[in-house]
Structure 1
Amino acid sequence: MILLSFDIEEFDMPFEYGKKLAFDEQLSISTTGTNTVLDLMQETGIKATFYCTANYAQHKPEVIARIVKEGHELASHGYYHSKFENSDLLSSRKLLEELADVPVKGYRMARMQPVDQLEIHLAGYKYNSSLNPTWLPGRYNNFKSPRKWFWEEDVLQIPASVSPNLRFPLFWLSFHNLPMGILKWLTDITYRKDSYLNVYFHPWEFTDLNQPEKYGFPSYVSRNSGDAFTERIREFINWAKRKGYQFGRTGDFASEIIQGRR
């Protein structure tokens, strides 16, 4: 099963590159991208998981309503994207559940940073997808962490997918920069080895990011963004469907594993 997920947040990434963006524009860019994603999911018949910050959800409840109405899973991405306290784990889950009137089972930490697994358990989450089990200079040093799903503090951990052996990350930046042939090959060997794939993106990637004066992004971030990224994701989905790979929501995948443990 391919677990397709999208992290919906205030678009604050330009701050990492010394740029400023008004909050209304942060919301607007994320909203436009999310609607593009939802349109694509509807076109391809895919159900996905949307990890959303409570801050975004409070300001855009109509987007949350569309996600739930169209059969996708709503999960938590914390309360704010740029700051975190342990209390945000519970408060973000409760706010999302109140807004959407659905249970929120999953969590993903902003920027896939470390988070206390006991606090995840105490906040009532069933699964956590906050680990990228690879090594990237200045970002991740998780080469010795489990590559596939595992249990910690009675919470199911579902790391982002990386290739066997070399642990090449199959995450959003890979989809911007790798030739599609290589990306499909890495996907194929990883899927056949693990029997599932956990890949994640952001709605703001579906905006033209090749505006260095505005966003300050290096080329490896802005390459193949906007319409080009929409086409890449569409091509990937259609290729995977032709291969016979199934797509599903992360919460459903987690529920099957949890049920099997009982």
Structure 2
Amino acid sequence: MILLSFDIEEFDMPFEYGKSITFEEQIRISSEGTLTILDLLAKNKLKATFFSTVTFAKNATAIIKRILDEGHELASHGVYHSDFKKEHLLESRLALEELSGVAVTGYRMARMMPVDEQEIQKAGYLYNSSINPTWLPGRYNNRHISRTYFFQSGVLQLPASVSPISRFPLFWLSFHNLPLWFYEHLVKRTYQKDNYINIYFHPWEFTDLTDKERFGFPGYVSKNSGQDMIARMDKFMGWLNKQGYPSGTISQFTKNIPLA
């Protein structure tokens, strides 16, 4: 199964590069990007999981409704994107459930940072997708962790997909920087090995990020953003359909995994 997921959050990433951006602009950029994503999913008849912060959800209630109305899954991305306390695990689940009226069973930590699995279990989540099982300088050193799903502390762990053997990450930065044919090749190889793909993106990638004075991003972050990203994602989604891969939400996928 193809597991597409999108981390919908207040767009605070410019702060990491010494730039300022108003809260209103953070929400606007992420809202516009999420609507673009929903349009692409509808066009290509694919389903996805949206990991939302409470902050974004409260400021984009119509978008959350559309996500659910169109058969996608809502999961938790915390209360805030740049602030975390263990209490936020339960707080975010309850707040999203109250706002949406649906059960929230999945969690993803902001920036795929480590999170205490026992606290995840205590907060009532069934799965956690917060691990990138690869090595990226200054960010991740997770080559010792299983490439594929496993159980820990009673919670299903669903790492982001990486290629077999080399563990080349298939996350959003790879999608922006690799030739699309080669990215698709890695996806196909990984799917053949694992029988599923778990890849994630963000709504702000669908905004033109090349203005370095405004956002401060290096070229490897801003490459193929905006209209280029829209066209690239549309082509990729079409390719997924041509391969005949089934598409679904993470919750749908996890229902077929026996409990540990």
Task: Report the Cα offset of residue 233 of structure 1.
Answer: 1.1
- Could you say which residue in structure 1 is the equivalent of 2:13? 13
Unaligned 5+ segments in structure 2 are none
- Could you say which residue in structure 2 is the equivalent of 1:54? 54
Distance 2:152 2:216 in 1: 38
The answer on 1:216 being equivalent to 2:198 is no
- 3-state secondary structure, aligned to 1:3: strand
- Could you say which residue in structure 2 is the equivalent of 1:133? 133
For 1:157-204, what per-residue CA distance to the aligned partner results, in whole angstroms no more than 9, with x for missing partners?
Answer: 000000001100000001100001110111111000000000000000
Q: Pairwise mapping of residues 65-214 of structure 1 onto structure 2 (< 5 A)?
A: 65-214=65-214
Distance 2:4 2:237 in 1: 10
- Could you say which residue in structure 1 is the equivalent of 2:41? 41
Distance 2:206 2:111 in 1: 18
- Could you say which residue in structure 1 is the equivalent of 2:259? 261
Distance 2:4 2:211 in 1: 27
Distance 1:208 1:218 in 2: 13
- 3-state secondary structure, aligned to 2:156: strand
Task: Report the Cα offset of residue 227 of structure 1.
Answer: 1.1
Structure 2 counterpart of 1:207, one-letter code: T
Distance 1:255 1:214 in 2: 44
TM-score (norm 1): 0.98
Distance 1:136 1:195 in 2: 25
Percent sequence identity is: 58
Task: Report the Cα offset of residue 224 of structure 1.
Answer: 0.3
Distance 2:203 2:259 in 1: 34
TM-score (norm 2): 0.99
Task: Report the Cα offset of residue 240 of structure 1.
Answer: 1.4
Task: Report the Cα offset of residue 232 of structure 1.
Answer: 1.0
- 3-state secondary structure, aligned to 2:5: strand
- 3-state secondary structure, aligned to 2:104: coil
Unaligned 5+ segments in structure 1 are none
Task: Report the Cα offset of residue 230 of structure 1.
Answer: 1.1
Distance 1:12 1:142 in 2: 25
For 1:23-75, what per-residue CA distance to the aligned partner results, in whole angstroms no more than 9, with x for missing partners?
Answer: 00000000000000011111111110000000111111111111111111000
Distance 2:185 2:40 in 1: 23
Distance 2:259 2:13 in 1: 39
Size of the aligned set, in residue pairs, is: 260
Range 226-235 or range 202-211, more displaced:
226-235
- 3-state secondary structure, aligned to 2:200: strand
Task: Report the Cα offset of residue 261 of structure 1.
Answer: 2.7
Task: Report the Cα offset of residue 247 of structure 1.
Answer: 1.0
